[in-house]
Structure 1
Amino acid sequence: MKIGICGALAEELDFSLDYIGVDRGIEILINLGIKPIYAIGDFDSIINKDLLVQLEIERLPTKKDVTDTHAAIEYAISKGYDEIDVYGVTGGRLDHFFSAMCLLEKYQNVKIRIINKQNVIELLKPGKHKIDQGSYKYFSLFALDNSYIDIEHAHYPLDNYYLKREDPLCVSNQTIDEYSYIRNNRAIILVRSNDL
Structure 2
Amino acid sequence: MADKKGRCVVLAGGPIRAEELRLLRPGDTVWAADAGLKAARRAGLVPELCLGDWDSCERPRDAKELIALPAEKDDTDTHHAARLIAERGFAEALLLGCLGGRLDHTLANLSTLLYLTGQGVRCWLVGADAAVTALHSGSLRLPRRPECYFSVFAAGGEARGVTLRGMKYPLDRALVTEQFPIGVSNEILQETGEVTVENGTLLLVYSKRE
- TM-score of the alignment, normalized to the shorter chain, above 0.5: yes
Match runs of 1:1-196 below 5 Å: 1-8=6-13, 9-11=15-17, 12-13=20-21, 14-16=23-25, 17-46=28-57, 48-49=58-59, 52-55=60-63, 56-107=65-116, 108=118, 109-134=120-145, 137-144=148-155, 145-147=157-159, 148-185=161-198, 186-196=200-210
Q: Which has the higher strand share?
A: 2
The whole-number CA distance in structure 2 between the counterparts of 1:162 and 1:128 is 16
Query: Is the 1:138–1:192 Cα contact (8 Å) retained in structure 2?
Result: yes
Residues 78, 136 of structure 1: alpha-carbon distance in 2 compared, 3 angstrom cutoff: farther
- What whole-Å deviation, never above 9, does each CA across 1:26-58 have from its counterpart, x for those lacking one? 111011111111000011111x54xx1110210
- What whole-Å deviation, never above 9, does each CA across 1:109-130 have from its counterpart, x for those lacking one? 1112111041111111212221
Query: What is the one-letter code of the residue matched to 2:86?
Result: I
SS in 2 for 1:126: strand
The whole-number CA distance in structure 2 between the counterparts of 1:169 and 1:117 is 23
Q: Let me know the Cα RMSD of the aligned residues.
A: 1.6
TM-score by length of 2: 0.86
Residues 112, 15 of structure 1: alpha-carbon distance in 2 compared, 3 angstrom cutoff: closer
Query: Is the 1:23–1:43 Cα contact (8 Å) retained in structure 2?
Result: yes
The whole-number CA distance in structure 1 between the counterparts of 2:129 and 2:11 is 16
Structure 2 runs not aligned, ≥5 long: 1-5
The whole-number CA distance in structure 1 between the counterparts of 2:140 and 2:124 is 15
Aligned length: 193
SS in 2 for 1:129: strand
The whole-number CA distance in structure 2 between the counterparts of 1:149 and 1:27 is 41
Moved segments of 4+, more than 3 Å: none
